């Protein structure tokens, strides 16, 4: 199991990084990225601390822990600047909190995140075909999510990404222990999104490749 979008109590998750990663190990995870919610106020506070925890835990336990960030409800025009800042501070995965159906995310967020070349546009709601095509060109992965509410548009995201040739990844957006999933449940969520067995294999491969890229960036 590879999961590149999770939260700890550095934002609105309930666990410290050590417990989240410990529980992920027990769930059979190979890779986890910790991507707490950030804006201009806390980005420099979160990333170095999470990076320290990920280094420690990855050294001691049989899991790859990747420090990341989720740029959340930020003004769309600040995406480029904060994406750069996140990478400079040591975030190896930059997630953008996309335009879900269930929150007042600023319109234009999906497009701004794709233009800023974040790694993952999370739960992008009713993303347009044109935006998905731009994501394909910019190498931005679109997210299928197992999270309640955010998953309402999984079918639309899967279909639109397929038409546009954009890459998909699946993440849990975990905030609590019960949000972590097994490899089996991941497959069920992807089948539920309408993906074929072949496309499911592609989604898993995309997650592996993105995780590999992130680990390589950390090594630099």
Candidates 131, 171, 173, 179: give the one binding Zn ion (CB under 5 A): 173
Judged by CB under 5 A, the stretch of 68-76, 82-90, 193-201, 207-215 that binds Zn ion is 68-76
Judged by CB under 5 A, the stretch of 5-13, 22-30, 137-145, 156-164 that binds Zn ion is 5-13
Q: Partners of 95 in the beta sheet?
A: 70, 120
98 closest CA partner among 152, 44, 164, 56: 152
Judged by CB under 5 A, the stretch of 12-20, 47-55, 149-157, 161-169 that binds Zn ion is 12-20
Q: From CA 88, how far away is CA 82, in angstroms rounded?
A: 10
Nearest distance from C-beta of residue 7 to Zn ion, angstroms = 5
Phi (first) and psi of residue 42, to 5 degrees: -125, 0
- Burial of residue 165 (CB within 10 Å: 0-12, 13-18, 19+) is exposed
Nearest distance from C-beta of residue 12 to Zn ion, angstroms = 4
Q: Cβ closer to Zn ion: 164 or 181?
A: 181
Encoded one letter per residue, x for contact with Zn ion by CB under 5 A and - for no contact, window 16-55 reads ----------------------------------------
Nearest distance from C-beta of residue 2 to Zn ion, angstroms = 16
**Helix-, strand-, coil-residue percentages of the chain, each rounded to 5:** 50, 15, 35
Nearest distance from C-beta of residue 165 to Zn ion, angstroms = 25
Per the CB < 8 A criterion, the answer to whether 35 and 95 are in contact is yes
Q: Is 12 in the site for Zn ion (CB under 5 A)?
A: yes
Mutual angle of helices 43-60 and 79-89, in 10-degree steps: 40
Interface positions with Zn ion (CB under 5 A): 12, 70, 173
């Amino acid at each position: 199991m590879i999961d590149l979008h999770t939260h700890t109590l550095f934002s609105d998750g309930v666990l410290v990084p050590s417990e989240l990663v410990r529980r992920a190990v027990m769930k059979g995870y190979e890779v986890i990225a910790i991507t707490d919610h950030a804006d201009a106020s806390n980005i420099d506070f979160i990333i170095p601390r999470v990076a320290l925890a990920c280094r420690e835990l990855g050294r001691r336990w049989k899991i790859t822990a990747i420090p990341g960030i989720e740029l959340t409800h930020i003004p769309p025009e600040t995406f480029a600047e904060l994406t750069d800042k996140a990478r400079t501070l040591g975030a190896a995965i930059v997630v953008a909190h996309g335009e879900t159906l269930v929150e007042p995310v600023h319109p234009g967020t999906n497009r701004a995140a794709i233009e800023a070349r974040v790694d993952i546009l999370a739960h992008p709601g009713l993303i347009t075909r044109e935006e998905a095509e731009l994501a394909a060109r910019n190498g931005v992965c679109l997210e299928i999510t197992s999270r309640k509410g955010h998953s309402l548009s999984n079918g639309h995201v899967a279909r639109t990404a397929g038409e546009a040739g954009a890459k998909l990844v699946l993440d849990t957006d975990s905030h609590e222990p019960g949000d972590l999933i097994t490899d089996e449940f991941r497959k069920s969520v992807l089948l539920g999104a309408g993906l074929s067995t072949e496309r499911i294999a592609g989604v898993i491969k995309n997650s592996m490749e993105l995780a590999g890229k992130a680990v390589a960036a950390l090594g630099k």
